């Protein structure tokens, strides 16, 4: 049987998770690799069952508790990243605090502490988005929202230079025919958009960049590109 590298990785993960399940069934407490594999596999299996990203993450966070793992494991396994195949495509799931009950807390080596004035997730603006496609469309946290799926109908000009106001690694799913209001925040850093849908491919704030991107979006049939072009 010929398997792709992704399929081999999935089978390896499943085998490790099955070992973890068997050991837990014998009353053994899990170590770091076992706990990580079981959490990640739970996400993948939930995706295979047709559950949404948020539901898969919640299932993974519920599969283990502090009493299921060896001492210190909850302090080490603070976040699990796994790519799973959902009904609307491959998605990166970030399972934060998957075990809970860590005893080291903010004093743990390598702990991340928010500095003074750490920004909260407060949107700079909100837009109403209608998915006109016949399939679900998901947009990840740091995707340049202006360049999101052309079948999403919203004010493209308002979305220029913006991203979703959601935690890093998460996403928003728009069901077929569904309309939703989402918050946006400006893209930070050097504000350079490379890739995505290829409508910008350069500095967002360069002279004429927005006008040219709007022209390209309209020419390619992106819904909403005819609105607010003068902003």
Residues 132/151, Cβ–Cβ less than 8 Å: yes
pLDDT score, position 226: 86
Q: Give the angle subtended at the CA of 100 by the CAs of 34 and 58, to the nearest 5°.
A: 80
Predicted confidence band of residue 202 (pLDDT cuts 50, 70, 90): very high
Percent of the chain with pLDDT over 90: 68
pLDDT score, position 115: 54
Summary mean pLDDT of the chain = 88
Residue 205 pLDDT more than 60?
yes
CA dist., res. 68 & res. 116, Å (int): 36
143-157: pLDDT as tens digits: 999 999 999 999 999
Residue 223 pLDDT more than 80?
yes
Residues 44/13, Cβ–Cβ less than 8 Å: yes
Residue 1 pLDDT more than 80?
no
86-136: pLDDT as tens digits: 887 888 888 988 997 554 444 444 444 545 544 556 899 999 999 999 988
pLDDT score, position 113: 53
Q: What is the rounded average pLDDT of the residues 32-47?
A: 96
50-89: pLDDT as tens digits: 999 889 999 999 999 999 999 999 989 999 999 999 887 8
């Amino acid at each position: 049987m010929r398997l792709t590298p992704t399929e081999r990785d999935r089978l390896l993960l499943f085998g490790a998770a099955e070992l973890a399940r068997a050991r837990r069934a014998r009353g053994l407490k899990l170590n770091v690799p076992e706990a990580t594999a079981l959490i990640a596999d739970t996400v993948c299996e939930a995706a295979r069952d047709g559950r949404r990203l948020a539901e898969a993450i919640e299932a993974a966070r519920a599969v283990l508790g502090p009493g299921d793992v060896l001492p210190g494991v909850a302090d080490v396994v603070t976040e699990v990243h796994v790519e799973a195949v959902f009904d609307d495509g491959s998605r990166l799931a970030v399972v934060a605090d998957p075990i809970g009950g860590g005893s080291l807390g903010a004093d743990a080596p390598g702990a991340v502490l928010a500095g003074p004035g750490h920004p909260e997730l407060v949107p700079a603006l909100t837009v109403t988005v209608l998915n006109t496609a016949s399939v679900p469309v998901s947009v990840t946290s740091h995707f340049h929202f202006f360049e999101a799926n052309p079948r999403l109908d919203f004010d493209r000009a308002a979305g220029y230079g913006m991203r979703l106001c959601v935690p890093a690694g998460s996403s928003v799913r728009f069901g077929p025919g569904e309309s939703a209001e989402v918050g946006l925040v400006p893209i930070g850093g050097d504000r350079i958009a490379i890739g995505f849908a290829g409508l910008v491919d350069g500095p967002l704030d360069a002279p004429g960049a927005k006008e040219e991107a709007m022209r390209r979006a309209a020419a390619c049939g992106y819904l909403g590109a005819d609105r607010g072009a003068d902003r």
